[in-house]
């Protein structure tokens, strides 16, 4: 049987799709490259914003067309949208045979047996313990150079706007030994970089035979795989400690890049969002990071037009961006998610046109900041991990600096997986251009 998995949403979902592939691998399903050749198609879905769900709906309509031509095709919806909508999705999307939430993937083989006997099935039970730590992910999404390793699941921060605590359940940490072992295996298999994943990695806390927090885990992983680059995402500003900053600064193979979602620059909005930090706290953490590591890159997430946001609040977001001088950002218009506390208690009262205008101002400013940040790299030398051939020219390769910036440079006789020193001579707001030295 052939299985095609299409993944939407965040890195966590990419990692989960690799777990699903591993569970079904043992059941005789092989990954294939297109929906057209598959017996079973899974969409691993995202529910973070309405437009993320609309993309999934559009894909389901296309797959329904395919299924009319190939009635034997099985269609499954996995992940956060399945969890958010529960059985309602089966009622609305009649071509869907199966729905499974993020904690029920071990049940997939049994569920597929039911589907093959003509039933439509759903399992959206969340778990307080599931981490899939004993499974070896089948890395069908990977380039063979860089891989994701999930270190924790769930989130219980309950930011007012966010659906994740409802779709992913309670926070739980994975056993350190299984994390270290998975990283070692990646190294043996030739991988050169690993990104440790969680919704809030710095609240990682293993309490088993010993107690371990994120800085300790980072040290253990880094020393177990000294030839690999270590990255991690995402860090919540409320608990990025001095100890963690020192660990990033002092562990040679941990990359000097921190993704630190700010969401807003206004204290009033941060409070309404239930982010549990102030603008001053955030600025203090950015200062501490830059002092400990002058070459650190800091990226962020920002939301425009959250409930009751005024022009003054918006200006504070713009001024926070300037003060922090973010190297990169993901920027979004607020999208109300059913069931969240913002949806229940606050009015989504910023008009769409205003949200879009504010978002555009944020994007324009970030392009300026990214360009300045990239220009400051001209003339400097970086160690670059080669990821592959550049999209624009097969004579050029692309890779990343430790700061996570993409660099394009002439190929020479280098290949993906090599690490090379590159001097930067030019840039755009999105890419550095360099030459190997
Ligand atoms: N766990 C991470 C982020 C997960 S979601 C963290 O806490 O930082 C990724 C980003 O999506 C968030 O940082 C936020 O900027 C954005 N986001 C989440 N819910 C949203 C919503 N309802 N509307 C718009 N953007 C949202
Ligand atoms: Fe969502 Fe907040 Fe949890 Fe991030 S920390 S996943 S934004 S609730
Ligand atoms: Fe989306 Fe779920 Fe990730 S809602 S962002 S796929 S945790």
Q: Which of 76, 72, 73, 63 is nearest to 21 (CA)?
A: 76
Give the list of residues 6+ apart from residue 265 with CB closer than 8 angstroms, or none: 279, 313, 316, 317, 318, 319, 320, 321
Contact 370, 327 (CB under 8 A): yes
pLDDT of residue 155 exceeding 90, the answer is yes
pLDDT of residue 366 exceeding 90, the answer is yes
Which tens digit of pLDDT belongs to each residue from 263-305?
Answer: 999 999 999 999 999 999 999 999 999 999 999 999 999 999 9
Among 9, 150, 152, 157, residue to substitute to test ligand 2 (most atoms within 8 Å of Cβ): 157
**Six-digit token pair at 266?**
């206004």
Query: What is the model's pLDDT at position 39?
Result: 96
Report the pLDDT averaged over residues 60-85.
Answer: 96
pLDDT of residue 113 exceeding 90, the answer is yes
Report the pLDDT averaged over residues 216-230.
Answer: 98
Whether 199 lines ligand 1, by a CB cut-off of 6 Å, is yes
50 falls in which pLDDT band (50, 70, 90)? very high
Interatomic CA distance for residues 403 and 131, integer angstroms: 29
Q: Position of tokens 């001579």?
A: 425
Instruction: Please give the mean pLDDT across all residues of the chain.
Output: 96
Q: Which of 162, 238, 152 is nearest to 199 (CA)?
A: 152
Q: Is the pTM of this model over 0.95?
A: yes
CA of 275 to the centre of ligand 2 (A): 9
Report the pLDDT averaged over residues 92-111.
Answer: 96
The ligand whose atoms approach the alpha carbon of 198 most closely is 1
pLDDT of residue 140 exceeding 90, the answer is no
Q: Residue 356: enclosing H or E segment and its boundaries?
A: helix 352-375
The ligand whose atoms approach the alpha carbon of 168 most closely is 3
Whether 198 lines ligand 1, by a CB cut-off of 6 Å, is no
- SS3 call for 143: coil
Contact 173, 204 (CB under 8 A): yes
Which tens digit of pLDDT belongs to each residue from 312-330?
Answer: 999 999 999 999 999 999 9
Query: What is the model's pLDDT at position 244?
Result: 97
Q: Torsion over CA of 233, 235, 241 and 246, rounded to 10 degrees?
A: 30
80 falls in which pLDDT band (50, 70, 90)? very high
Which tens digit of pLDDT belongs to each residue from 402-429?
Answer: 999 999 999 999 999 999 999 999 999 9
Beta strands in 199-335 (DSSP E): 205-207, 211-213, 229-233, 257-259, 297-304, 328-333
pLDDT of residue 142 exceeding 90, the answer is no
Query: What is the model's pLDDT at position 236?
Result: 97
More confident residue, 140 or 242: 242
Interatomic CA distance for residues 204 and 214, integer angstroms: 5
pLDDT of residue 51 exceeding 90, the answer is yes
Instruction: Please state whether the peptide bond connecting residue 74 to the residue before it is cis, i.e. omega within 30 degrees of 0.
Output: no
**Six-digit token pair at 342?**
């913002």
141 falls in which pLDDT band (50, 70, 90)? confident
Whether 101 lines ligand 2, by a CB cut-off of 6 Å, is no
Which domains does the chain carry? 2-123 (3.40.50.12160), 142-255 (3.30.750.210), 264-277+287-376 (3.30.750.200), 381-436 (2.40.50.140)
Interatomic CA distance for residues 259 and 135, integer angstroms: 28
């Amino acid at each position: 049987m052939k299985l095609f998995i299409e993944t939407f949403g965040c890195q966590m979902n990419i990692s989960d799709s690799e777990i699903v592939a591993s569970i079904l691998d043992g059941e005789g399903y092989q990954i294939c490259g297109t929906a057209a050749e598959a017996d079973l198609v899974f969409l691993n879905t995202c529910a973070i914003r309405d437009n993320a769900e609309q993309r999934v709906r559009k894909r389901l309509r296309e797959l329904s067309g395919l299924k009319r031509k190939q009635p034997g095709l099985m269609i499954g919806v996995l992940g956060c949208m399945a969890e958010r909508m529960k059985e309602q999705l089966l009622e609305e999307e009649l071509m869907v045979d199966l729905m499974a939430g993020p904690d029920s993937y071990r049940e997939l083989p049994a569920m597929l047996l039911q589907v093959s006997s003509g039933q439509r099935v759903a399992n959206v039970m969340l778990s307080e313990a599931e981490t899939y730590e004993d499974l070896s992910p089948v890395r069908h999404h990977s380039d063979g150079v860089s891989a994701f390793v999930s270190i924790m699941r769930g989130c219980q921060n309950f930011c007012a706007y966010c659906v994740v605590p409802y779709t992913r359940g309670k926070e739980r940490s994975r056993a350190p030994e299984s994390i270290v072992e998975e990283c070692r295996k990646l190294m043996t298999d030739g991988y050169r970089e690993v990104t440790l994943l969680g919704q809030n990695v710095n609240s990682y806390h293993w309490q088993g035979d010993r107690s371990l927090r994120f800085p300790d885990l980072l040290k253990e992983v880094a020393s177990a795989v000294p030839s690999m680059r270590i990255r991690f995402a995402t860090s919540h500003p409320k608990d990025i400690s001095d100890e963690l900053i020192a660990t990033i600064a002092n562990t040679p193979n941990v990359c000097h890049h921190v993704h630190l979602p700010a969401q807003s620059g206004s204290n009033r909005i941060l409070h309404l969002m239930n982010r549990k930090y102030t603008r001053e706290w955030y600025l203090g953490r950015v200062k501490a990071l830059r002092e400990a590591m002058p070459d650190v890159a800091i990226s962020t997430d920002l939301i425009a037009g959250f409930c009751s946001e005024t022009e003054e609040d918006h200006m504070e977001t713009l001024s926070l961006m300037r003060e922090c001088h973010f190297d990169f950002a993901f920027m979004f218009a607020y999208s109300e998610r059913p069931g969240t506390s913002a949806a229940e208690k606050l009015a989504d009262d910023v008009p769409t046109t205003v949200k879009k205008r504010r978002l555009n101002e944020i994007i324009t400013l970030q392009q300026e900041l990214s360009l300045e940040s990239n220009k400051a790299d001209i003339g400097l030398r970086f160690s670059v991990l080669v990821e592959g051939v550049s999209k624009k020219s097969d004579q050029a390769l692309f890779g990343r600096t430790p700061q996570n910036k993409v660099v394009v440079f002439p190929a020479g006789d280098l290949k993906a997986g090599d690490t090379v020193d590159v001097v930067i001579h030019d840039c755009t707001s999105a890419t550095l251009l360099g030459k190997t030295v």
